[in-house]
Structure 1
Amino acid sequence: MPESRAALLAMDFQNDIVDRLGDTSVVEVAGCAVEAARAAGVPVLFVRVGFRPGCPEIAAANLGFGALTQAGDAFREDGPATQVVDALAPRADEPVVVKRRVSAFTGSDLDVLLRAAGVDTLVLTGIATSGVVLSTLRQAADLDYRLTVLADACADQDPEVHRVLTEKVFARQAEVIDTDEWIGSLKSR
């Protein structure tokens, strides 16, 4: 079996989402993962959600995003609320993928970027565990990516939901570890 090529996805670490979470400790942990990936030559891709002015991508039937249409252009793809937080500032050579739905794959060019880079393994971090992490994990599994979830580099407004997903659900399709363990595996390569 050929050696796998991994990429780290830092998902929805954007200003508005981090502010609503109210706890930046997950950003610090994700920052450690990003720095370790960079040092080990593992590609880092950032994923954020954003929409065109007026949110034409959001159907009236979409309960999850429907409220955003009432918020005006707060989630406009080029607005400050949707930009990656400064603590995780992407480098010029690191792709920033804009998605239009919960999964990092839906409405984005993520799969094209990953396939072009020969990536077959994804290391997932993000906010929220019950949102972008869960949806991306499920879709990535269906697309035949190998998966690792860095449990402590993910967060959810509901800690119990985070615990159930990371301890019981994700393990069916991914290796679930903490960031220090993953960083240690990079050093042993």
Structure 2
Amino acid sequence: MTAPTRTALLLIGFQNDYFANDGILHAVIEESSRVSGVLKNTLNLLEEAAPLFDLIVSTPIHFTDSYGELEEPVGILKTIKEVGAFKAGHSGAETIPEFKQYEDIITEVPGKRGLNAFSNTHLEELLRSKGIDHIVLAGTVTSICIDSTGRHAADLGFKVTILSDCTSSRTIFEQEFFCENVFPLYGAVKNSSTLMTV
């Protein structure tokens, strides 16, 4: 007889610089987020289905004012440095206020400095200590942090599920492309309502 699956919900990128109307990078994900309903659906998941998860984790990304953690950054990390996003101690780096009411059930794992939530954090150690073998991903950006974290989790032997309506990308096309063509290569893609009825 096999042991029952133990599942963690992993929340990535739910910070003001992405989700607040005046967030520095809000425009990057605004259209995709509106179409997928990422925030509304994730809040509904926390409200209605939190007991489904053995662990709920948030992995915010933070940098010092000088961005000394980034050596010759490229791509999205270069953009983050250039526009001054996710500075520790600044409002843009703070977790969105909508999560405040759930802070007693969300475990925050600090240390994320790049694309993959496992890098420079104790996320794997925490998951192993709780006997987690299945990770469900929600957040942004689909093509970057969600994909990087999902692939790494699969390489570590975790079962991976990505919630198509609780994630958002830079464009609607990119969101659909990853959900239809990339994520199924290493995990499952589900709608949060389907997850809640299983």
Q: TM-score, normalised by structure 2?
A: 0.85
Which residue in 1 is equivalent to 2:62?
Answer: 50
Equivalent residues of 2:8, 2:53 under 8 A apart: no
Count residues with an aligned counterpart: 184
Superimposed CA distance per residue, residues 79-136 of structure 1 (whole angstroms, 9 cap, x where no aligned partner): 2111111112342352112310011111212111111111110001111111111111
> Residue 149 of structure 2 aligns to which amino acid in structure 1?
T
SS at 1:49 equivalent: coil
The equivalent residue for 1:88 is 99
Aligned: 1:4 with 2:5: yes
* Identity level (%): 25
Structure 2 equivalent of residue 35 of structure 1: 47
Q: C-alpha separation between the residues in 2 aligned to 1:37 and 1:3?
A: 18
Cα deviation for residue 173 of structure 1 reads: 1.0
Q: Distance in 1 between matches of 2:148 and 2:67?
A: 21
CA–CA distance in 2 between the matches of 1:127 and 1:166?
Answer: 13
CA-atom RMSD in angstroms: 1.8
**Mapped partners of 1:95, 1:28: distance in 2:** 20
Unaligned runs of 5+ in 1: none
Kept in 1, the 8 Å contact 2:6–2:134? The answer is yes
Shift of 1:41: 4.9
Structure 2: unaligned runs, 5 residues or longer? 21-25
- Does the CA contact (< 8 Å) of 2:58 and 2:108 recur in 1? yes
Q: Which runs of 4+ in 1 moved over 6 A?
A: none
Deviation at 1:47? 1.6
